[in-house]
Amino acid sequence: MCNPRDRETSPAVIDALFAGQAARALALRKSSAAERSARLARLLDALMARREAFAAAFAKDLGKPAVEVDLTELLPVIDDIRHAQKHLKRWMRPQRVAPTLVTLGTKARIVYQPRGRCLIIGPWNYPVSTLVGPLVSALAAGNTAILKPSEFTPNVNAVIGEIVAEVFEPAEVAMVEGAIETSTHLLALPFEHVFFTGSPAVGKVVMAAAAKHLASVTLELGGKSPVVVDASADLRHAAEHVMWGKLVNAGQTCVAPDHLYVHRSVMDRFVALCREVLAERFGADAAAVASSESLGRMVHSRHAQRVVALVDDAVAQGARVLAGGAHDAQRRYVAPTLLAEVPDAARIAQEEIFGPVLPIAPFDSLAEVIARINAAPKPLALYLWSRDAGAVEQLRSETSSGSFCVNLCLQQYAHQNLPFGGVNNSGIGNAHGFFGFKAFSHERAVLAGGPFSALKLLFPPYTPGKVKLSQRMVEAIRRL
């Protein structure tokens, strides 16, 4: 992997790009739905023209199978573009709102106005969908943007950079590269909106930096997303989907199942089914799994070593390996691994795993699982496999998470009519579809007076009659 400093954008260039977008950001306030849709069309064409280039770049950076590149990187962005183009005219239309009793005689509407110059900082695990995806929303809302991808995916970044240079003028969209110093310099600039995807720890740094300029933020963070499989679940269905959700992109997914609670009465059967699924998809022995072309790799050896260290620490404290366990950190390989009897004190029980390792714990009552979930920071996703409507409602109503999914996982990320985002520790704000458009828009209140204004009846001087009228108005409103 190349040294990130070899591709670092200088502070002077960053400052010039930021300054150069000021006038364009003002001009875009008057842009039409057709103009914005045309920009999105050019972006879509450029993405489609580079499908093979992306497949090759992802193979180098993440060892990612081409099917996963299409499914998890390009398809969500393409769908987001087409969805925005279809609905943009309606999204942009001012929304008329009825007057209240206090504002009789006025006309009101909500106008969606571009925020202005936006900064989008993406992570390394999904470098297209988490960088270009927010760009789609920023463009749909009529903003300019500076993109900052992770330094750990240089080959993918090169393809994205080609697209940005081909489709946009720097005054509208630009991409800069570099490591922490570059991000720090960008965050010191007075952007109107910052969209960040990454860890909760870095999210706090981003939010603190944005607060210095009172910039609005969208933070897509993460956390330890739990999975619950109860005794009523279709176990085969659950095993197939949990193993897919856990292992796509080698587990390096913000909404991946992080740990699993399975009812004690079906624990052994569920684990056996998970082993069957692993063998069917990646091979029946360790050598076959290690050579499987359907399994991605860790982004770099340091991350592989971190995941291996989490497993080693858990095993040293008494955890049992139910499947997998093999690894070669220097080759960025960690085998799909199932763990049991993981003690609460183990690091893997505290930290987001972000790798192909799944701790599994038995439970006897749903109440005890709910208590454990509520004792931890609110997760980005919560998954339940169940055919018991009462259990579904209990878990939904008694917990909090960015999303709650029943009998599926990860697919909420691709649903353009749903808000995607976390809550508190797992994120602030929403993305995708109309919710992404709103994130990059200011909902401006526009109020116009008419020829008659009831307010005139209460202008000074405050005579006894006006005092009595105001008192009656307050009582009338209270009784409504």
Look at residue 2 and tell me whether its pLDDT is greater than 70.
no
The average pLDDT across 24-51 equals 97
The average pLDDT across 268-285 equals 97
Look at residue 208 and tell me whether its pLDDT is greater than 80.
yes
pLDDT of 188 reads 98
| CA distances, 396 to each of 72, 404, 415 (Å) | 27, 7, 19
pLDDT of 6 reads 61
Look at residue 411 and tell me whether its pLDDT is greater than 50.
yes
Percent of the chain past pLDDT 90, that is, above it, reads 92
Q: At a CB cut-off of 8 Å and minimum separation 6, what does 475 contact?
A: none
The average pLDDT across 26-34 equals 97
The average pLDDT across 171-177 equals 98
Residues serving a catalytic function are 220, 254
Q: What is the CATH number of domain 4-221+430-442?
A: 3.40.605.10
CA distance 144 to 137: 11
Bridge partner residues of 128 (DSSP): none
The average pLDDT across 80-108 equals 94
The average pLDDT across 385-413 equals 97
pLDDT of 3 reads 52
Helices and strands of the chain, counted as H and E runs: 18, 18
* DSSP run (H or E) holding 46: helix 33-49
Look at residue 1 and tell me whether its pLDDT is greater than 50.
no
- Where is average pLDDT lowest: 4-13, 205-214, 325-334? 4-13
Q: What is the CATH number of domain 226-418?
A: 3.40.309.10
Strands (E), 86-215: 95-97, 106-114, 117-121, 144-148, 173-175, 193-197
Percent of the chain past pLDDT 70, that is, above it, reads 99
The average pLDDT across 163-181 equals 97
Q: Contact, 87 vs 37, CB < 8 A?
A: no
- Residue-range domain boundaries for the chain: 4-221+430-442, 226-418, 450-479
